[in-house]
Structure 1
């Protein structure tokens, strides 16, 4: 029996609780989440962290896509931040410090802040789209949901570069298939790797290494 079809679209406000269920299921075993929140991260902390990030940053400034089946159930989700939405996001996160403290506790919050600042320092200085996460329910794995969400997001780039952090070799393989190139690993965090989708300049998509070397991807 063929797998049930699904549709990719933007999330609706009333779908936030179900969307968070998907993210908790997808990221509880994630190695990067274990680095941030401990070897056995509590689902309520993961849910609170994602809920605050989505409400503060991605709902007002970004794009939240979902894959839904014929009954409207969410199978997976991806969250993107466009270049213009990234200005001032660190200040917003610091403003929400008391909320993060309540969700995570002091020890985990210190680790989250240190990791966030470290990772931000290694993101591209030039304009780029940023992929926050892609999460897919376990029951929907192997149906191309992650690929479909990624392809949908790529259609928005319009020649602009994009960047993400891959937290597992499996996710890095997915991103590589869709044109992202590894540009370095994050020491002391997890197996996380920074990956770049090169910009298209005058109709040519440049290799990120040669482009950077030749000054083609200069800071804005």
Structure 2
């Protein structure tokens, strides 16, 4: 099955968010922010959440890549450009009603607390931030996550900038290390999750290629 990785079209953001919802349905950090509720369609709820989070970043300050197989989105990577984001406050404000509907007031406050904690751990150097990456269950284990990373990191390297992410699982960290990320400090303050920061420095293309 051929898988093509490319930039997402605006009309594909819903499908991209749905893939992230499937991938993060059991994520421990997300479970702390938005616990499952009895009788709800959790994938639909999380899809709305991820769609709002993507749109909370201005178009010019985000890159959303999709992996497509047979015209179906099967993988998504959501990157944020180096700060500051021009128009970022207005983009976020426009998503507040949807975020409140999904998270509730208490969940929104928990989310803000976690986000602030995570933002404080980010490096001072300009960098692209991998906010979310996920792959549909139907294609897991087929290298789709690696294809998404390679696609974005080639772009980051052309810009000669660093890249940063947080990872909650040792399995994912092995993938990120293969693409040049190194483990940083653990992020504290979570009840049932133990995310670790990971940093990939800017590559000087005049000296050599991107690390494998």
SS at match of 2:188: coil
Q: 1:182 and 1:39, CA in 2 relative to 1: closer, same or farther beyond 3 A?
A: farther
CA distance, structure 2, for counterparts of residue 167 and residue 87 of structure 1: 30
| Aligned counterpart for 1:200 among listed residues 185, 190, 203 | 203
Partner in structure 1 of residue 149 of structure 2: 150
Alignment of 1:30-109 (within 5 A): 30-38=27-35, 42-57=42-57, 59-69=59-69, 71-83=70-82, 86=85, 89=88, 92-93=91-92, 96-109=95-108
SS at match of 2:99: helix
Deviation of 1:114 (Å): 0.4
Deviations 1:56-114 (A, max 9, x none): 31644211111111x21111010112225646746753664343222210111111000
Q: Which runs of 5+ in 1 are unaligned?
A: 206-220
TM (norm. structure 2) is: 0.85
Deviations 1:109-132 (A, max 9, x none): 111000001110110111111111
| Aligned counterpart for 1:11 among listed residues 5, 8, 11 | 8
Q: Which runs of 5+ in 2 are unaligned?
A: none
Deviation of 1:39 (Å): 5.8
Partner in structure 2 of residue 181 of structure 1: 182
SS at match of 1:156: helix
Q: 1:185 and 1:39, CA in 2 relative to 1: closer, same or farther beyond 3 A?
A: farther
Q: Does 1:164 align with 2:165?
A: yes
TM (norm. structure 1) is: 0.82
SS at match of 2:194: coil
SS at match of 1:67: strand
Q: 1:144 and 1:102, CA in 2 relative to 1: closer, same or farther beyond 3 A?
A: same
Q: 2:184 touches 2:198 (CA, 8 Å); kept in 1?
A: yes
Q: 1:62 touches 1:82 (CA, 8 Å); kept in 2?
A: yes
Alignment of 1:94-133 (within 5 A): 96-133=95-132
Paired residue total = 201
